[in-house]
A and B are shown apart, each in its own frame.
Chain A
Amino acid sequence: MLNQCFLILGLMVVVSPAVLLAVLGTASLVGLKISEQTSARLTQTSVITGLTASLTILGLMLGTGERHVPIEVGHWVLIPEESFHFHLKFVFDRLSVPFAILSFVLCGTIGAFTNNYLHRERGYHRFFVLYALFLLGMIVSSLAGTIETLFLGWELVGLSSALLVAYFHDRKNPVRNGQHVWVIYRIADAAFLIAALTLHHLTGAGDFDELMGTGPWPEGHATISQSHALFVGLLLLLAAAGKSALVPFSGWLPRAMEGPTPSSAIFYGALSVHLGAYLLLRVSPLLELSVVLSTAVILIGLSSAVFGAVAARVQTDIKSALAFASLTQVGIIVAEIGFGLRYIALIHIIGHACLRTLQLLRAPTLLHDYNDFENAIGEHLTHEPSFWSRWVPVRIREWVHCLALYRGFMDDLLKAFVVRPMLRLFRWCDGMERRWTNFLSGESDPAEPTKMEKRESLEEFV
């Protein structure tokens, strides 16, 4: 009976955002007009259903003392002869339940806020389709019981994030930034996929219960060797660094603030930015196996925290300042995970996500309030010089300022040493191919369109 209850409630948690996405997505694809009110009601219903089911599961777990409730959906794909299976399984435990509840609470708040914030905006429905995609991705990632299921949710979150950064797609900058975010996410996804496959090979399954030992989170113990743990762990760390904007991928975080404020709040302030930390928490038994891996996690976390703290001080707009402040906290959370402080990291995530959502939602009206405040007191607010400014030489301060202003030159270094050489190589290949086809065809440049082809536009034709 209890198991039946858990199964029904567990499915409700996952199905409610899926239904929301199906309804909004289909309507958008077939061109069916849904009123703003209907969109808002559907979103509310979905979030409330999912949240109620999650809270009920939490209540039942607390009441019965269950610490680990697996919900077996079954094999999505099964080839028994080759022992290949794609197992759909969701797990409710001390890590996933708080994260799922946090996702529903914050998404619900943002949904209600956005309903007014984007009222009569042209992209209102587009926002809610991407919002539904994000919510589904977050819930699937939070509750994933297998590494493949986690990857599924991880990808949904990535796509919705990149498209929401480019939400104001009439302007080039948001679009370029959306593309930048997508590139980093693809690198992170590739690392994640390779790690998932390697784990599959090492253990013969993608189930977290088998990968990370049999004990409920956080007491599991991984059974793979130290060297394997280091290899897989480093790949997962790379994936987490991409998703959570840790060093050296921090450049995308302020760029992501080009999106509408509610999406910035929910994705880069609250949920998406913590997904990397969540992944590290989920695979934390791996970290125990390798000191080198734990050290790498701590170093990346601390360097991200320091970088975020320094960069936040030179930002000239509030959203970017908040983005780097988020990075500081996420860096500290990652360092906590590296030190093995799992419960503290989880509590830190929840607290930080709630605070940052509030701050980002408050950001658009803050300047207005500052003006009112200064008008009321009749003078500008003054800032006391910091402790460091009194003791550190000007030259070093200037150098640090420059470093912070250019975001540690991380984007520039990645562009100079990775992106540009690669693009230059492919452009050279493209040029050589064109020369070869020109040589064969005896044409000057076949890629150059003729005047007739240029006039093929339907509007000009009509």
Chain B
Amino acid sequence: MSELHLPWLELSVLIPIFGAIVTARLKNAGYSRLVCLVSCTATLLLTLGEWVDFVALKSFAAHDHWDVLAMMFQDQIFVIDELNAPLLPLAALLCLLTVLSTLRTKQRRFAFHWMLISEAILLATLSCRNAWGIVLLLVAAVFPVWLELRQRGRTTQVFTFHMALFVAALFIGQALVDLGYLFAGGAFLTFAGLLRTGIVPLHCWMTDLFEKASFGTALLFVAPMTGAYAMMRLVLPIAPEWALQSIAIVSLITAVYAGGMALVQTEARRFFCYLFLSHSSLVLVGLELATPIGLTGGLCVWLSVGLALGGFGLTLRCVEARTGQIDLKRYHGLYENMPTLAAFFLLTGLASIGFPGTIGFIGTELLIEGAVDVYPLVGMAVVVAAALNGIAILQAYFKIFTGTRHHESFCLRSRFAEKVAVMILTVLIIGGGLYPQLGVASRYHAASELLRDRSDQLNFKQKSRTAFNTNLNHDH
């Protein structure tokens, strides 16, 4: 395996941990925000550095230089490959933008140190290729969110119930896989992955989380789609084709259902949650199709949805920070008060549904093409889900930004830091839309390698099983 020029992966996990320790000791919320901002920026630069370094190596996978974890565990724990290379900067960017768009008035209520801990766990999960490592990190990611819910004095039963099922299924599944019971183990792991992604009917924890946790925490818990990552690492290599395609159909049903549910929501957070659910299910559809085009589409949409809906969620959070909880039953008339946020809300929303000229367009086309290839009629449901999401997005835009003008007591326009966040995402969304070839080619290469890897592993397991049966016959 190739070696990176610096220990980028380990540093990108260590920096947020160090930042969290410093932030936890600070009493002043302003300084905490500053330290958090610096840590997140440094982490983003490190993840970008590792991506550039990895691309320059022209290899499918690489590990850190001076790999301390490999020395300790005698195994490559943190590995960068075609799958996670762009996901790491995406996750770091979302964390940075969340901090950047946190208003000063809200900084006392936002737990910066827990956010940094969550970022470290998230980046470690996305860097990890070891199955048990992923299982443990996925479990660890649950605790900061659970603690925040407790600190806010909200009931944690729904979250606890679902996450307990998730943790149990993960542990049982991986243990069964290790013992050689691939089918049963795969089924448990699939159940865990679907629950973490929020597939119907295992999704109710997500709406509950968005209602009870802070918007930033809930967004960072779901937006990087670690459930889908777990499916890719733990389920894709061992699952037979029919199982993957069954998961794709369940995901497709979720995509349509969540798209429809987004239409009838009367509260902005729940609306966002269903919108996200619909899109993350579409990503899962692409990932589980197990065809080069479908998988490429899934990987492209993963990135575009991460960026677009991440930006969409942050915009909603910025509006909510100014107006309080957003009721979608009435028109708020906020366009004149915050035109930049209105334009960005629309841009990110349209990018998420794959509107032409935005980053999601080609990914969605590939995804639909892949789905139709495998299931000519059922695959059309992707188009239906996209149409429902499109209607829901414009409906929310109209409810929030149009109507009788809201007369503010002071200027509600976006602040400098928010404008910076908006501009960064706009450049990425439009830039990725106008020049998609680079991203698509890279994702196609990743998809091909993942499918080759999967076929190698399935062949190897088949051969082992045949050899085992032959030996058994000889013994008889």
| Stretch from B128-136, B186-194, B219-227, B408-416 forming part of the interface with A | B408-416
Query: What residues of chain B lie closer than 8 Å to A437, measured between beta carbons?
Result: 158, 204, 207-208
* B325 and A462 form a contact (CB under 8 A): no
Query: What residues of chain A lie closer than 8 Å to B96, measured between beta carbons?
Result: none
Could you tell me the distance between the alpha carbons of A109 and B223 in the complex, rounded to whole angstroms? Answer: 46
Chain A interface extent, by class? 35 or more
Chain B interface extent, by class? 35 or more
> Is the C-beta of B196 less than 8 angstroms from some C-beta in chain A?
no
Could you tell me the distance between the alpha carbons of A81 and B373 in the complex, rounded to whole angstroms? Answer: 16
* A441 and B208 form a contact (CB under 8 A): yes
> Is the C-beta of A187 less than 8 angstroms from some C-beta in chain B?
yes
Query: What residues of chain A lie closer than 8 Å to B157, measured between beta carbons?
Result: 440-442
* B260 and A422 form a contact (CB under 8 A): yes
User: In the assembled complex, how far is the CB of residue A154 from the closest CB belonging to chain B, in whole angstroms?
Assistant: 9
User: In the assembled complex, how far is the CB of residue B76 from the closest CB belonging to chain A, in whole angstroms?
Assistant: 29
Could you tell me the distance between the alpha carbons of A124 and B261 in the complex, rounded to whole angstroms? Answer: 36
If A187-B387, A441-B158, A458-B105 touch, does A426 touch B211 (CB 8 Å cutoff)? no
> Is the C-beta of B336 less than 8 angstroms from some C-beta in chain A?
yes
Query: What residues of chain B lie closer than 8 Å to A460, measured between beta carbons?
Result: 324
* A197 and B369 form a contact (CB under 8 A): yes
Query: What residues of chain A lie closer than 8 Å to B357, measured between beta carbons?
Result: 152, 156
> Is the C-beta of B173 less than 8 angstroms from some C-beta in chain A?
no
* B325 and A456 form a contact (CB under 8 A): yes
If A426-B264, A447-B270 touch, does A454 touch B440 (CB 8 Å cutoff)? no
> Is the C-beta of B216 less than 8 angstroms from some C-beta in chain A?
no
* A457 and B324 form a contact (CB under 8 A): yes
If A155-B356, A175-B403, A442-B157 touch, does A458 touch B321 (CB 8 Å cutoff)? yes
* B324 and A454 form a contact (CB under 8 A): yes
- Chain B proximity mask over A144-174: 1 for CB below 8 Å, otherwise 0: 0000100110011001001000100110100
User: In the assembled complex, how far is the CB of residue B458 from the closest CB belonging to chain A, in whole angstroms?
Assistant: 21
* A459 and B293 form a contact (CB under 8 A): no
Of the candidates A82, A182, A430, A447, the one whose C-beta lies within 8 Å of that of B391 is A182
* B408 and A446 form a contact (CB under 8 A): no
> Is the C-beta of B335 less than 8 angstroms from some C-beta in chain A?
yes
- Closest-by-CB residue of B relative to A136 is B357
> Is the C-beta of A291 less than 8 angstroms from some C-beta in chain B?
no
Could you tell me the distance between the alpha carbons of A189 and B321 in the complex, rounded to whole angstroms? Answer: 35
If A76-B437, A170-B404, A440-B158 touch, does A458 touch B322 (CB 8 Å cutoff)? yes
- Chain B proximity mask over A408-429: 1 for CB below 8 Å, otherwise 0: 0000000000000011011101
- Chain B proximity mask over A430-462: 1 for CB below 8 Å, otherwise 0: 100100110011110011010001111111111
Query: What residues of chain B lie closer than 8 Å to A169, measured between beta carbons?
Result: 333, 335, 398, 401-403
- Chain A proximity mask over B339-357: 1 for CB below 8 Å, otherwise 0: 1100110010010000111
Interface hits, B350-376 → A, CB 8 Å:
350, 355-357, 362, 365-366, 368-369, 372-373, 376
Of the candidates A31, A152, A458, the one whose C-beta lies within 8 Å of that of B412 is A458
Query: What residues of chain B lie closer than 8 Å to A29, measured between beta carbons?
Result: 340, 343-344, 347, 422, 426
Interface hits, B90-108 → A, CB 8 Å:
103, 105
Query: What residues of chain A lie closer than 8 Å to B293, measured between beta carbons?
Result: 79, 82, 84
How many residue pairs link A and B with beta carbons under 8 A? The number is: 174
User: In the assembled complex, how far is the CB of residue B221 from the closest CB belonging to chain A, in whole angstroms?
Assistant: 17
Of the candidates B261, B340, B376, the one whose C-beta lies within 8 Å of that of A426 is B261
* B395 and A179 form a contact (CB under 8 A): yes
Could you tell me the distance between the alpha carbons of A175 and B158 in the complex, rounded to whole angstroms? Answer: 38
Could you tell me the distance between the alpha carbons of A200 and B370 in the complex, rounded to whole angstroms? Answer: 12
Query: What residues of chain B lie closer than 8 Å to A456, measured between beta carbons?
Result: 320-321, 324-325
Query: What residues of chain A lie closer than 8 Å to B384, measured between beta carbons?
Result: 190
Of the candidates A186, A433, A446, the one whose C-beta lies within 8 Å of that of B390 is A186
* A78 and B437 form a contact (CB under 8 A): yes
Of the candidates B263, B336, B383, B437, the one whose C-beta lies within 8 Å of that of A194 is B383
User: In the assembled complex, how far is the CB of residue A122 from the closest CB belonging to chain B, in whole angstroms?
Assistant: 7
* A162 and B394 form a contact (CB under 8 A): yes
If A193-B368, A433-B207 touch, does A122 touch B324 (CB 8 Å cutoff)? no
If A155-B356, A442-B155 touch, does A189 touch B369 (CB 8 Å cutoff)? no
If A78-B437, A193-B383 touch, does A166 touch B402 (CB 8 Å cutoff)? yes
Q: Is the interface of B mostly helix, strand, loop or mixed?
A: helix
* B211 and A447 form a contact (CB under 8 A): yes
If A433-B204, A458-B103 touch, does A77 touch B362 (CB 8 Å cutoff)? yes
- Closest-by-CB residue of A relative to B297 is A84
Of the candidates B105, B320, B322, B355, the one whose C-beta lies within 8 Å of that of A155 is B355
Could you tell me the distance between the alpha carbons of A433 and B261 in the complex, rounded to whole angstroms? Answer: 11
Could you tell me the distance between the alpha carbons of A305 and B97 in the complex, rounded to whole angstroms? Answer: 54
Query: What residues of chain B lie closer than 8 Å to A436, measured between beta carbons?
Result: 204
Could you tell me the distance between the alpha carbons of A436 and B207 in the complex, rounded to whole angstroms? Answer: 12
Query: What residues of chain B lie closer than 8 Å to A186, measured between beta carbons?
Result: 387, 390-391
Could you tell me the distance between the alpha carbons of A75 and B437 in the complex, rounded to whole angstroms? Answer: 9
Query: What residues of chain B lie closer than 8 Å to A201, measured between beta carbons?
Result: 372-373, 376
* A170 and B333 form a contact (CB under 8 A): yes
- Chain A proximity mask over B146-160: 1 for CB below 8 Å, otherwise 0: 000000000101100
Could you tell me the distance between the alpha carbons of A132 and B191 in the complex, rounded to whole angstroms? Answer: 48
Could you tell me the distance between the alpha carbons of A423 and B325 in the complex, rounded to whole angstroms? Answer: 24
Could you tell me the distance between the alpha carbons of A148 and B364 in the complex, rounded to whole angstroms? Answer: 13
* B444 and A427 form a contact (CB under 8 A): no
* A427 and B356 form a contact (CB under 8 A): no
Could you tell me the distance between the alpha carbons of A425 and B388 in the complex, rounded to whole angstroms? Answer: 14
> Is the C-beta of A178 less than 8 angstroms from some C-beta in chain B?
yes
User: In the assembled complex, how far is the CB of residue A276 from the closest CB belonging to chain B, in whole angstroms?
Assistant: 18
> Is the C-beta of B423 less than 8 angstroms from some C-beta in chain A?
yes
If A84-B366, A182-B391 touch, does A430 touch B265 (CB 8 Å cutoff)? yes
- Closest-by-CB residue of B relative to A29 is B343
> Is the C-beta of A1 less than 8 angstroms from some C-beta in chain B?
no
- Closest-by-CB residue of B relative to A162 is B394
* A86 and B292 form a contact (CB under 8 A): no
Could you tell me the distance between the alpha carbons of A460 and B105 in the complex, rounded to whole angstroms? Answer: 12
- Chain B proximity mask over A66-93: 1 for CB below 8 Å, otherwise 0: 0000000001111101101010000000
Hey, which bits of chain A sit against chain B, CB under 8 A? 28-31, 75-79, 81-82, 84, 86, 122, 148, 151-152, 155-156, 159, 162, 166, 169-170, 172, 175, 178-179, 182-183, 186-187, 189-190, 193-194, 197, 200-201, 422-423, 425-427, 429-430, 433, 436-437, 440-443, 446-447, 449, 453-462
**Pairs A–B under 8 Å by Cβ, sample size 6:** A175-B398, A437-B207, A440-B158, A443-B155, A458-B412, A462-B409
A29-B347, A175-B403, A459-B412 known, 4 other contacts, Cβ within 8 Å: A170-B402, A170-B405, A175-B331, A440-B158
Hey, which bits of chain B sit against chain A, CB under 8 A? 103, 105, 155, 157-158, 161, 204, 207-208, 211-212, 257, 260-261, 263-265, 267, 270, 292-293, 296, 320-325, 331, 333, 335-336, 339-340, 343-344, 347, 350, 355-357, 362, 365-366, 368-369, 372-373, 376, 380, 383-384, 386-387, 390-391, 394-395, 398, 401-405, 408-410, 412-413, 419, 422-423, 426, 436-437, 440-441, 444, 448
Q: 8 tightest A-B contacts by CB? A: A169-B402, A457-B324, A456-B324, A152-B356, A190-B387, A458-B322, A186-B387, A441-B157
